[in-house]
Amino acid sequence: MASSKKKTKTQTPAHVLAAFRRIGPRIETKGRVKLKDKDALGLYYTPGVGVASLHLAKHPEDTRKLSVKKNSVAVISDGSAVLGLGNIGPYGALPVMEGKALIFKELANVDAWPIVLDTQDPDEIVRTIIAIAPGFGGINLEDIKAPECFDIEKRLIEALDIPVMHDDQHGTAIVVLAGLMNAATVVGKSFKKLRVVISGAGAAGSAVAKLLCAAGITDIVVLDRAGAIYNGRPGLSPSKQELASITNPHKVSGDLASVLEGSDVFVGVSGPNLLTRSDVQTMAKDAIVFALSNPVPEIMPEEAKKGGARVIATGRSDFPNQVNNALVFPGIFRGALDRGVTEITQAMKLKAAKALAQLVVKPTAEKIIPDVFDKRVVPAIAKTIR
């Protein structure tokens, strides 16, 4: 039961900064062999290392077998869309990338390296990542703003023979899909017949919409700041035009309050306090509300519940049903590294979501998603990446 869990401590800014100053770096490199004598030094460094170097110069396809590439992922950001903090640049992004690297190691034993780029030019970002890719077995893009993130990821996938994934897009989408599968079970509704409204057409919102479409939901309406996105709406960017072509089959227009009426599901990946109790009351009976804006959600859970929502999820750890990307990216890259996967496909994402959902054997309104520290999560997701 949720009430028996240990409560998360409230961390004040002063407490957090004091802890970071005390600890300093949260990750470190560590040798897997010991330099105990000159023989070891001669084997693992010069002159022995020259043998490996000459071999890989002629046979680069063996790099995974003979180097750190076998178990390494680069966690890369330009700092243009950091958490809920916005465009705060590479120095602001560094603590987040370091935290992601820590999660990779602790949850999946993947050696991840935080890399922040002092440029927000897509061409330069792509060139830089391609240039450093030989030393890595995978690329985890993070906190890069839309629409640039779509083009950057696409170009890297085409250029590289290692898996590339923008976690803000696909990690979020996979957890949302898993949670929604179980939420539909809790409220007794057909998953594919759900009417879904998504507030936010950026990285996360676009990926969620596409994955829900791929999973079989046909009635999805995505909104940006100008309202519902539909085929024929003037001034749509290429990425939003793509969304319009696969969503909103009835060409619904209007603002969030009007579009939400009668819907089964609200997914918020936009901004704080955009939804009211009155808005939730206009939704269908036993509504599902995923208010994922962080740190302040689109609507607080208690307000959503008073409005009639039966299943509520947020992006926060202090409420039930946290939609947390850390449930996904460690297992996806663990599986990709172990099996030499070169691309994370939509089919893999669908299987990963299903595997994640199935870990909750008897879903309830308070439990539709596994806990991030559930030791079954990484192996279950890793098995789907093949």
Q: Specify whether 158 is located in the same domain as 206.
A: no
Q: Give the three-state DSSP class for 74.
A: strand
pLDDT (tens digit per residue) in 206-231: 999 999 999 999 999 999 999 999 99
Write the DSSP symbol of residue 287: E
What's 98's domain CATH number? 3.40.50.10380
Q: Specify whether 139 is located in the same domain as 281.
A: no
DSSP alpha helix (H) spans, 247-287: 256-260, 277-281
CB 26 within 8 A of CB 98: yes
Asked whether residue 10 carries a pLDDT value surpassing 80, the answer given is: no
- Cβ atoms < 10 Å from Cβ of 4: 5
What's 217's domain CATH number? 3.40.50.720
For range 263-267, the mean pLDDT: 98
DSSP alpha helix (H) spans, the chain: 13-23, 38-44, 48-58, 63-66, 89-108, 122-132, 148-159, 167-187, 203-214, 238-246, 256-260, 277-281, 301-306, 329-339, 346-358, 377-382
Catalytic annotation, pick one of 45, 91, 192, 193: 45
CB 326 within 8 A of CB 172: no
Asked whether residue 58 carries a pLDDT value surpassing 90, the answer given is: yes
In the prediction, which pLDDT does 4 show? 42
Answer whether residue 11 is part of any domain: no
pTM: 0.93
Which helix (H) or strand (E) segment is 195 a member of? strand 195-199
Confidence of residue 9 (pLDDT cuts 50, 70, 90): low
Answer whether residue 320 is part of any domain: yes
Q: Specify whether 310 is located in the same domain as 340.
A: yes
Amino acid at 191: F
Task: Establish whether 65 is a catalytic residue.
Answer: no
Q: Specify whether 227 is located in the same domain as 357.
A: yes
Catalytic annotation, pick one of 6, 44, 65, 100: 100
- Cβ atoms < 10 Å from Cβ of 45: 11
Q: How many domains does the chain have?
A: 2
Task: Establish whether 45 is a catalytic residue.
Answer: yes
Taking the C-alpha atoms of residue 95 and residue 100, their distance in angstroms, rounded to an integer, is 9
Answer whether residue 43 is part of any domain: no
Answer whether residue 42 is part of any domain: no
Amino acid at 349: K
Which of these three, 142, 162, 182, is where a domain ends? Answer: 162
Which of these three, 113, 143, 162, is where a domain ends? Answer: 162
**Residue 278 belongs to domain spanning:** 167-386
